[in-house]
Homo-oligomer: A and B are copies of this chain.
Amino acid sequence: MAAPLKLGVAGLGTVGAALVALVTRQRGELAARCGRAIEIVAVSARARGKERGLDLTKLQWFADPVALARSPDIDVLVELIGGAGDPARAAVAAALAAGKSVVTANKALLAAHGVKLAALAESKGVALNFEAAAAAAIPIVKTLRDGLAGNRVARLYGILNGTCNYILTKMEQERMPFAECLAEAQRLGYAEADPTFDVEGHDTAQKLAILASLAFGTKVDESAIYVEGISSIQSADLSAADELGYRVKLLGVAVRTGKGIEQRVHPTMVRKDAAIAQVMGVTNAITIDAEGLNPLTLVGPGAGGPATASAVLSDIADIARGLKVAPFGRPTARLAAVRKAPMQRHEGGYYIRLMARDRPGTAATIAKRLAEQDISLESIVQRHDPGEPAVNGKGRPVPVILITYATTEDAVRKALAAVGRDRVISGRPQVIRIEKN
């Protein structure tokens, strides 16, 4: 049997601790599969004395993860520090520069510096593996990189953030408002104290940037992504969606269009019969449409210590078995710059909810503005809430829900701006894009 593969683990948070436990528990299995033992020999973390439920006494300790990365005692750096900046970035770069393979779960780092780091790995002939960086235990990186190596991907879309999906599920199932569901998610540890990064879609965008690169052979480019979060979603939208046969999910979507690659993150109406619409709670899922194939959907745990450690360990096992693939599936020189399809030219159906002032001519005005932009309507529902009393002899604003046939983002924005100028609505219109399945 070959010499053991020696790992240095930088970062001992939830994932690091789960990884140490998993490597220990699976020692025999891993050796059988890989033809060599896998051993953690050194670690680095901020606080040495912290209680983690792990026996670290036999491991070398490094206060500085960069020193760990350069240590001649390790073959592979496992970077679980997180964040796009140092020390994560410096440690990964140092390991690659020293000719060591790197396994990382760091989506922020890859979204910001993925191509540069991949080029460095390539020049040194080592691996840079990151299955855990998007959707944790769902093998989506390997599926795009290896499983669909012979296919041309037309579109991928996914639920890539468990926090948002938990909140939307709760809002839908218990008819609770966003703020309450967020608070509940925080109580359960599904959402951070500052939830902005998750609920405003940035976490999803970083993962989407990585997946789009793998799917389309383009350079990772987070800045090419249009991002909109879920904080504006109201229970009324979820009820309306339900009645219309849809569910609302925060999706990351990347599509090959005639105008380039469209990448966007936003609340999305998906038909209830879509595989992705069935995905509830913190679970993640990704659907891939490859040309000439029916869709492929992967559903599973997208976050958490054990799920992330599982993906990290699969990457480590690949290295132990001598497998090495270009990090983004092809040499970095072959990765194209993203030809960004502008969001204004996005085409699709739209759900629009307006609060119309209850006076004669309002519906006609709205319909006229939409018609001016060549927007055709699949349905329009205007409903007086029977329980709602009239105010000062006049009715309160009445919700009007419109579903359009395929149109463009630009047309919708222009039409709604005109409706706004007409002063026939109250508040901002709610707009949710519909994704076909």
Inter-chain contacts of A283 with B (CB < 8 A): 294
Q: Interface size on A (CB < 8 Å)?
A: 58
Q: Is there an interface contact between A137 and B293, defined as CB atoms closer than 8 Å?
A: yes
**Complex: chain B residue closest to A278, CB-CB:** B278
Instruction: Find out whether the CB atom of B292 lies under 8 angstroms from the CB atom of A306.
Output: yes
* A30 and B30 alpha carbons, distance in the complex (Å): 31
Q: Are B152 and A147 in contact, CB atoms less than 8 angstroms apart?
A: no
Among B138, B147, B300, which residue has its beta carbon within 8 angstroms of that of A314? B147
Is A111 on the interface with B (CB-CB < 8 A)?
A: no
Q: How far is the CA of A297 from the CA of B334 in the complex (A)?
A: 32
- Contact residues in B for A300 (Cβ distance below 8 Å): 293-297
B307/A30 in contact, CB under 8 A = no
Which residues of chain A from 13 to 27 have any CB-CB distance to chain B below 8 Å in the complex?
A: 22-23, 25-26
- A298 at the B interface (CB under 8 A): yes
- Please tell me if the beta carbons of A290 and B275 are within 8 angstroms of each other in the complex: no
Asked if A318 is at the interface (CB within 8 A of a chain B CB), the reply is yes
* Interface pick from A83-91, A322-330, A373-381: A322-330
Does A310 sit at the interface, judged by CB under 8 A?
A: yes
Q: Contact flags (1/0) for A93-106 with B, using CB distance below 8 Å? A: 00000000000000
Residue of B317, B330, B334 near A146 (CB, 8 A) is: B317
Q: Please, which residues of chain B bring their CB within 8 A of the CB of A334?
A: 32-33
A434 within 8 A of partner (CB):
no
Question: In the complex, what's the smallest C-beta–C-beta distance from A140 to chain B, in angstroms?
Answer: 9
Interface residues of A in 314-352 (CB under 8 A from B): 314, 316-318, 321-325, 329-331, 334
Of chain B, the residue at the smallest CB distance from A149 is B317
In the assembled complex, A139 has its CB within 8 A of some CB on chain B: yes
Interchain CA distance A29-B335 in the complex, whole Å:
11
Residue of B nearest to A292 (CB): B306
| A171 in contact (CB, < 8 A) | no
Residues of B within 8 A of A294 (CB): 137, 283, 300-301, 307
Judge whether A217 and B32 touch: CB under 8 Å: yes
Cβ–Cβ contact B306 & A293, under 8 A: yes
Contact status B137-A139, CB under 8 Å: no
User: Known: A32-B217, A314-B149. Contact between A296 and B299, CB under 8 A?
Assistant: yes
Bound together, the chains give a CA A15 to CA B138 distance in angstroms of: 28
The minimal Cβ–Cβ distance linking A367 to chain B, given in whole angstroms, is: 38
Task: Please judge, given known A-B contacts A35-B331, A278-B275, A290-B310, whether A142 and B147 are in contact too, CB under 8 Å.
Answer: yes
Q: Quick check: is A49 within 8 A (CB to CB) of the other chain?
A: no
- Per the bound structure, the CA–CA distance linking A329 and B30 in Å amounts to 10
Q: Is the CB of B275 within 8 A of A149?
A: no
A131 within 8 A of B: yes
Contacts of A126 in B (CB 8 A): none
Closest to A307 in B: B293
Contact A316 B278 (CB under 8 A): no
The interface residues of chain B lying within 8 Å CB-to-CB of A138 are 296
- Which residues of B lie under 8 Å from residue A318 when comparing CB positions? 146, 149
Task: Say yes or no for A160: interface residue by CB 8 A criterion.
Answer: no
Q: List 18 A-B contacts (CB under 8 A).
A: A22-B292, A33-B149, A33-B217, A33-B334, A34-B149, A35-B330, A137-B290, A137-B293, A138-B296, A143-B143, A146-B323, A150-B316, A150-B317, A275-B279, A290-B310, A292-B310, A297-B300, A298-B298
A binding-site residues for B, Cβ under 8 Å:
22-23, 25-26, 29-30, 32-35, 131, 137-139, 142-143, 146-152, 217, 275, 278-279, 283, 290, 292-301, 306-307, 309-311, 313-314, 316-318, 321-325, 329-331, 334
Counting from the closest, the 3 A-B pairs by CB-CB distance are A150-B313, A139-B147, A149-B317
